[in-house]
Amino acid sequence: MLVSGVIAGIAAGIAFGGDWHRLAAISIRFWPILAFAAGLRVIGAVYTSAPLNLYLVALVGIAVVSTLNWRLPGSVLIAIGTLMNVVVVIANGGMPFDASVASSIHATLPTDTLHVPLGPDTKLRFLADVIPVGVIDSLYSPGDFLIALGGFLIPFIWLQAPAQEPSAQGELRSRNFALFWLAQVVSRFGDPITLVALVFVTYRETQSALLTALAVVITTLPNALLAWIGGAIADATGRRRAMLWCDSLRALLISTVPILLGLRAPIGVIFTAVFLAGTCGAVFNPARVALVRTLVSGDKLTAANAVVYASDRAVEIGGALAGGVLVATMGDLAFFVDAATFALSAVLLSRIVVWETATPLIWTRLLAEGRNGLVFIRRSSTLWANTVFSLLAQVSTPVVNGLTPVLLVRRFAGNDPNLGALEFGAAEAAIALGAVLGSAALSRYLMKVRKGILTVIGFGATGATVVLISLAPTFELTLGLFVVLGVMNVVFYVPNVTILQEHTPVELSATVFGARIALLNLTWLPVILVSGALGDAVGVPLLIAAAGAITLTTAIVGAFIPSIRDVA
């Protein structure tokens, strides 16, 4: 994993404008120890009957060198990941691996002396080789992933030109933007893990559709309450500074969740910790969008936004799948992995060099700015018509978001929360995959059709797809429909955002966007709660079908309203 991470880091570093010649300037202290350890690993790979102590000496050597070179970005992660592997190997007389999971992905079972089968007496099983990577038919441990990430960071960051160099100012392929891009990717990767883990914990503890839907509400509520002033807070404190503090606080708050669960704290306390972490996200997201304009010049802005949007969707796939796998294999400890993503993002953000000024947070001024965004939407006939139409047409979204976990675990997982977590992660990934495919395949065609017509078509197709999801008899068909749902999200989302951008002055864009997000989330909250309450009484499939029918009907009505349909 270390070699794979280094190779990927070199490729990504060069893609962001890094100079591969800078590799010659990397100075690794005590490198002979590292070379000796690497040689032992090669011997172990060739001679599978090599004694276990050979592997342990190699792992300890790598950990020692990584620790002594802690100033290199990523070396600390390599040290921690290697030590995690050493601890579980010593505790079990070898690295435990889950043979059943390996067989499910057709992975070749290891035959060397380093690995031992996972059993009922295995200690620290969450540190073992239990995480499947189906693409390459292999099992890995959490420590392996930290090692790979550390190996990625060393060349990725080292290859970039210092931010102070004139050639790096305002460029898409620059150290600053590379650090920003990686930081927001890592941070966004943790978002779906929070959702999947919280939903899993809630259903496991309560078996209630209402409380499971409430878990989804908890991740949505902060955006509803704070999105309309989140951008103003970021502007006042400094965008990079706001992102840094937000992810630092999220790492701290999310890391308390498994501790609280271990102490058998009430579910309300767990919700409170996640809610507070979500308030940081309500500030982080507008700050992230605004910081792009600081890091790149105007002529690079479109390309930068495209890179950020594409990586968002791709990361949602990985994060959702990882959330399902982590919850199924690690249980409550998945929250620690989530917290680690936010901590790493904060470290990366701290290395970005930008000039920012901070102004006092005067709440009366922040509230006034947020109110101005709402007033502007209400006074613009085009934006108001589009906003009302979108709020009504998206009624199916909170229903699907809130009830999909319950639908999957009851219909396809036999009420098994672990299997349900995997299926929910796969469903979230399917939607993200559809969004990625839709963005890649439809972008050139979306510019040729009136935006109003696109929103009508997108919402209509979304409603029809949601109805089909409620009726799907197999999990495979359901996943396919979620991919379609992701594609349709692009069809209505892109013209919606473009309409908002084109009809809003630049100086009000962040405020208006925040107000629109707040309105959307405020309408979602009661829908999620009501659908969750009715889910136990009326039935989840029926509610999802009804929500899809409402979206479809709204789209049909919108097709006959000129102020909605005829927006160019």
Q: Is residue 196 part of a domain?
A: yes
Question: Please, which residues have CB within 8 angstroms of residue 303's CB and are 6 or more apart in sequence?
Answer: 172, 296
* 366 closest CA partner among 526, 520, 518, 523: 518
Q: Is residue 114 part of a domain?
A: yes
192, 323 in Cβ contact below 8 A?
yes
Could you tell me the CA-to-CA distances from 271 to 22, 145, 167, 254 in Å, in that order?
Answer: 47, 28, 47, 11
* Burial degree of 46 (CB within 10 A; 0-12, 13-18, 19+): exposed
Whole-angstrom distance, CA of residue 212 vs CA of residue 204: 9
Question: Residue 392 is part of which domain span?
Answer: 366-568
Q: Is residue 19 part of a domain?
A: yes
Q: Are residues 109 and 192 in the same domain?
A: no
Q: How many domains does the chain have?
A: 3
pLDDT < 50 regions, the chain: 164-168
Q: Is residue 338 part of a domain?
A: yes
pLDDT in tens, 135-181: 567 888 888 888 888 888 888 877 866 654 444 455 666 778 888 88
Q: Are residues 271 and 309 in the same domain?
A: yes
Whole-angstrom distance, CA of residue 468 vs CA of residue 488: 14
Q: Are residues 402 and 440 in the same domain?
A: yes
Q: Is residue 236 part of a domain?
A: yes
Per-residue confidence (pLDDT) for residue 167, from 0 to 100: 40
Per-residue confidence (pLDDT) for residue 160, from 0 to 100: 67
Q: Are residues 252 and 327 in the same domain?
A: yes
Amino acid identity of residue 459, one-letter, is F
Q: Are residues 378 and 460 in the same domain?
A: yes
Per-residue confidence (pLDDT) for residue 49, from 0 to 100: 86
Question: Please, which residues have CB within 8 angstroms of residue 557's CB and are 6 or more apart in sequence?
Answer: none
Q: Are residues 375 and 286 in the same domain?
A: no
pTM: 0.64
Provide the total of helices (H) and of strands (E) in the chain, helices listed first: 21, 4
Per-residue confidence (pLDDT) for residue 493, from 0 to 100: 81
Q: Are residues 197 and 255 in the same domain?
A: yes
Q: Are residues 151 and 190 in the same domain?
A: no
Q: Are residues 92 and 195 in the same domain?
A: no
Q: Are residues 495 and 523 in the same domain?
A: yes
Q: Is residue 164 part of a domain?
A: no
Q: Are residues 120 and 226 in the same domain?
A: no
Residue 72 DSSP class: S
Q: Are residues 338 and 373 in the same domain?
A: no
* 391 closest CA partner among 515, 487, 538: 515
Per-residue confidence (pLDDT) for residue 135, from 0 to 100: 59
Per-residue confidence (pLDDT) for residue 60, from 0 to 100: 93
Q: Is residue 271 part of a domain?
A: yes
pLDDT in tens, 225-272: 777 788 778 877 888 888 998 999 998 899 888 888 878 888 889 999
Residue 538's CATH number: 1.20.1250.20
Q: Is residue 165 part of a domain?
A: no
Task: Single out the residue in 104, 135, 158 at which a domain terminates.
Answer: 158
Per-residue confidence (pLDDT) for residue 165, from 0 to 100: 45
Question: Please, which residues have CB within 8 angstroms of residue 265's CB and are 6 or more apart in sequence?
Answer: none
pLDDT in tens, 460-516: 999 999 999 999 999 999 999 999 998 898 888 878 877 877 787 766 666 777 778
Task: Single out the residue in 110, 133, 158 at which a domain terminates.
Answer: 158
